[in-house]
Amino acid sequence: MKYAGIVGIVAGCTLLAGSAFAVHAEVKSSAERLKTGIAESVKPAVAIANDAEAPYCTPKFKEVLARVIHACGLEGGAARRGCQPADVKTLASISDDDFNALFTPLKDRGGVVMYDDGSEKLDDDGKKMLEELWVERKGARYFFIVARASKTGTPDFNRSLSHKRANSAFFHVGDKFKEPDLDKQVGLLWLGNEFAQLGKEYCEWNVSRKGKPCAAEAINRSAFVSWVDCQL
Amino acid sequence: MSGAPRRWPSALALVASLIGLVFGGLSTLDYSRHLDRQVHDIHCSFIPGLAAGGAGENACRAAMYSPYSALFRDRYWGGIPISLFAVGAFAFFASYALYLLLAGPRAPRRAAQFFGAVSLTPLLVSALMFAISALKLGQYCKTCVGIYISSVLLAVSGIFLLLDARSKGAPAPAADKPEGAAEGAGAGRPVGSLWLVPGWLLALGIFTITPTLIYLSALPSYASYITGCGKLAKPTEPNNALLRHTPAGAKQPATLFVDPLCPTCKAFHKRLEADGIFERLDTTLVLFPLDNECNWMLDRPLHPGACLVSKAVLCGENRAVDVLEWAYDNQERLLEGAKSPAGLATVRSAIREKWSNLDACIDSKDTKLRLDRMLRHIVNNQLQVSTPQLFLGDTRLCDEDSDIGLAYSIRKLAPDLRLP
């Protein structure tokens, strides 16, 4: 019986020591792996949430956009809001046609809000279009309002008029949606009648006055508005 | 029936104890391996040592991640796995059974009686864990079942040893024994001193607790790891687009980013509920559907239909969490519906069936805008495109701490949050 007892005790101690050793070794091994960390190459790459990046965001488009954003008050806490024709000409450093061509991919994303002659007042269709486009933001970071005026009248008058048109669209969005950081989302450009006038073919775009007469003069009494799905 | 006690119960006890020791040991090693905060394969098979995949492993993983797999989980990262106690106890039972087997009829009755009595304790614990598996987890891990079976076998052998010890009749009084007769010799089996019982109990206690002490002595410190997974830079959303869930008495602010059709979110939510954490959080709920129908950060849907279901949750407003929990409960059906030829119409129909009053709201532009704003809030905080993500205050709970380290990490990140 003594022999059995001794064997039992030895077996018990062996099992206990073996179990304890195995547990200790595994915990220590985990502690070591915890300390050294998992290799970066083994870690799965996780994307970081970001603004949308549409195919039309070409380097040239983004370059112009970035210049406008920085120079026209959307970033950097600048006090001024918007860019006028002289600014845009300088900033964009491209011809009128090239400037307009940059916005061609936004044909389906944006719309042309049309105004009466010599007026900056939004009609109901214009307001509706603005509201509908605004809620279609998706992943876009910036909303652009590019206002124009027709050739009728002096450059100074048209510059001022297009500025008012840009503002009327901007204020309507602000009044309707009460966005607290609207200044940092909306880029205003007013081109008067001096830069990047639209051709009659733009009447085929998404215009606020559908089914109404549209000519080169009418299409320039407008503000082109669109979200821009580019990471800048 | 012969006068000598049978040996097979001792042999059975030895085999049962060794099986229990192996299954308990594997379970402990699996648990210990996860102390590095990574995910590893786990043993989950009736054949000890064989790793399993698929549904089998899911059951073992569910058991391991459950709050019932370890003690003091809020005090130590991962807690103390209960299998550690099994390892020590089965080691004791194995050595004791070996002793009984070798000693045979010379083993004192008291030894057999003691073994018979304490051999029932693993069965009691196994019965409790089996009930938890059945009622709380709804699945059975094979490693655990291995321990249950060994506990049953051990209890059966213990009962037979107990019966053997009794059936031999009461030992002859000392006065009736022939002068000088040694205990165990001749007709009577020795009884053994009563003082041996506390000694054996002490030994059982030492065996049971020793692996735990060794385990705790080797545990690393996790303090520096659990706070290193980022902060919520902009906790507020200027348009009040985010949802709030503030149960009575909840004081700890938390922000939870979830996708209603994400299985991990569902599991995480269930875990928070099972641990009694969710109802103690003043939660800001942000929907983060991983579905490119509304989420521009993806080029394909990870969880098709998630945008539609997220809108339903948004429209739930005061009952948003109810809608979310319904989505979790019906997740597989909703995902299958979204992938079917009818696609979103199936999902829409399922929502309408349960939440008919949300129909108009789901289609409204305001809801679309609100969901966009939630997603923009995620962009503004430059979060990872993954779900779920929980921030306690402004500190992110690391993914690595969201399973067995959850209770510990929550206690460290939110000391005021009193867990049950």
**Number of domains forming the structure of chain B:** 2
- Where does the pLDDT of residue B420 fall: very low under 50, low under 70, confident under 90, or very high at 90 and above? low
CATH 3.30.1330.60 fits A59-228, yes or no: yes
pLDDT above 80: residue A149: yes
Q: Note the pLDDT tens digit of each residue in A27-51.
A: 999 999 988 876 555 667 789 999 9
Same domain, B101 and B145: yes
Mean per-residue pLDDT for B198-202? 94
Q: What is the pLDDT of residue B178?
A: 40
How far apart, in whole angstroms, are the C-alpha atoms of residue A169 and residue A163?
10
Q: Yes or no: say if A115 and A121 are a contact pair by the CB < 8 Å rule.
A: yes
The two tokens of residue A112 are 């042309």
Q: Best mutation site among B10, B26, B36, B196 for testing chain A: the one with the most A CBs within 10 Å?
A: B36
Q: β-strands B70-71, B80-81: how paired?
A: antiparallel
Q: What is the pLDDT of residue B396?
A: 95
- Where does the pLDDT of residue B83 fall: very low under 50, low under 70, confident under 90, or very high at 90 and above? very high
In terms of CA atoms, which chain B residue is nearest residue A6? B99
Helix axis angle for B120-132 and B82-103, nearest 10°, is 150
The two tokens of residue B275 are 């641990």
- Where does the pLDDT of residue B45 fall: very low under 50, low under 70, confident under 90, or very high at 90 and above? confident
Nearest CB to A137 within list B217, B372, B383: B372
Ranges of each domain in chain A: 1-44, 59-228
Mean per-residue pLDDT for A198-213? 90
- What is the CA B393 to chain-centroid distance, rounded? 26
Same domain, B280 and B386: yes
Cβ separation A7–B33 shorter than 8 A:
no
Q: Yes or no: say if A159 and A209 are a contact pair by the CB < 8 Å rule.
A: no
Is residue B125 assigned to a domain?
A: yes
Residue ranges of alpha helices (H) inside A57-103 are 59-71, 85-92, 96-102
Q: Yes or no: say if A137 and B372 are a contact pair by the CB < 8 Å rule.
A: yes
Same domain, B392 and B282: yes
Same domain, B136 and B85: yes
Residue A81 one-letter amino acid = R
Mean per-residue pLDDT for B23-46? 87
Q: β-strands A186-190, A222-228: how paired?
A: unpaired
Instruction: Catalogue the E-assigned strands of B247-352.
Output: 252-258, 281-287
SS3 of residue A142 by DSSP: strand
The torsion angle over the Cα atoms of residues B313, A141, B382 and B375, rounded to 10 degrees, is: 0
The structure tokens 């796995």 sit at: B81
Angstrom distances, CA of residue A212 to CA of A114, A127, A129, A201, A222 = 11, 17, 15, 14, 14
- CATH number, domain at B314? 3.40.30.10
Largest CA distance in chain A: 120
Domain enclosing residue B372, as ranges: 243-398
Q: β-strands B395-396, B389-392: how paired?
A: antiparallel
- CATH number, domain at B69? 1.20.1440
Range in A171-175, B52-56, B123-127 the model is least confident about: B52-56
pLDDT above 90: residue B403: no
Q: What is the pLDDT of residue A194?
A: 82
Range in B139-153, B184-198, B380-394 the model is least confident about: B184-198
Cβ separation A4–B375 shorter than 8 A:
no
Q: Best mutation site among B93, B214, B291 for testing chain A: the one with the most A CBs within 10 Å?
A: B214
pLDDT above 70: residue A76: no
Same domain, B200 and B267: no
pLDDT above 50: residue B416: yes
ipTM here: 0.79
Is residue B344 assigned to a domain?
A: yes
Mean per-residue pLDDT for B164-178? 53
Q: What is the pLDDT of residue B50?
A: 62
Q: What is the pLDDT of residue B282?
A: 95
What is the helix (H) or strand (E) element at residue A174, kind and residue range?
Answer: helix A155-177
Q: What residues of chain B lie within 8 A of the CB of A29, using their CB?
A: 33
Q: What is the pLDDT of residue B182?
A: 40
Range in A95-99, A113-117, A155-159, B380-384 the model is least confident about: A95-99
Is residue B406 assigned to a domain?
A: no
The partner residues of B282 in beta bridges, in order of sequence, read B253
The torsion angle over the Cα atoms of residues B308, B314, B319 and B324, rounded to 10 degrees, is: 50
Tell me what percent of the residues of chain A surpass a pLDDT of 90.
48
Q: What is the pLDDT of residue B52?
A: 54
Q: Peptide bond preceding B388: is omega within 30 degrees of 0, i.e. cis?
A: yes
In terms of CA atoms, which chain B residue is nearest residue A30? B36
Same domain, B207 and B274: no
Is residue B186 assigned to a domain?
A: no
Range in B6-10, B209-213, B295-299 the model is least confident about: B6-10
Is residue B161 assigned to a domain?
A: yes
> Sheet containing A111-114: which strands, arranged edge to edge?
A111-114, A222-228, A142-147, A186-190
Same domain, B146 and B20: yes
Counting Cβ atoms within 10 Å, is residue B44 exposed (0-12), middle (13-18) or buried (19+)? buried
Same domain, B214 and B271: no
How far apart, in whole angstroms, are the C-alpha atoms of residue B35 and residue B39?
9
Is residue B184 assigned to a domain?
A: no
How far apart, in whole angstroms, are the C-alpha atoms of residue B310 and residue B301?
14
Q: What is the pLDDT of residue A141?
A: 87
Same domain, B19 and B139: yes
CB neighbours of A213 closer than 8 A, spacing ≥ 6? none
Is residue B367 assigned to a domain?
A: yes
Same domain, B200 and B259: no
Is residue B409 assigned to a domain?
A: no
Q: What is the pLDDT of residue B172?
A: 41
The two tokens of residue B64 are 């391991």
Same domain, B85 and B146: yes
Same domain, B209 and B305: no
Interface of A with B (CB under 8 A): 1, 3-5, 7-9, 11-13, 15-16, 19-20, 22-24, 26-31, 33-35, 38, 46-52, 132, 135, 137-139, 178-181, 229
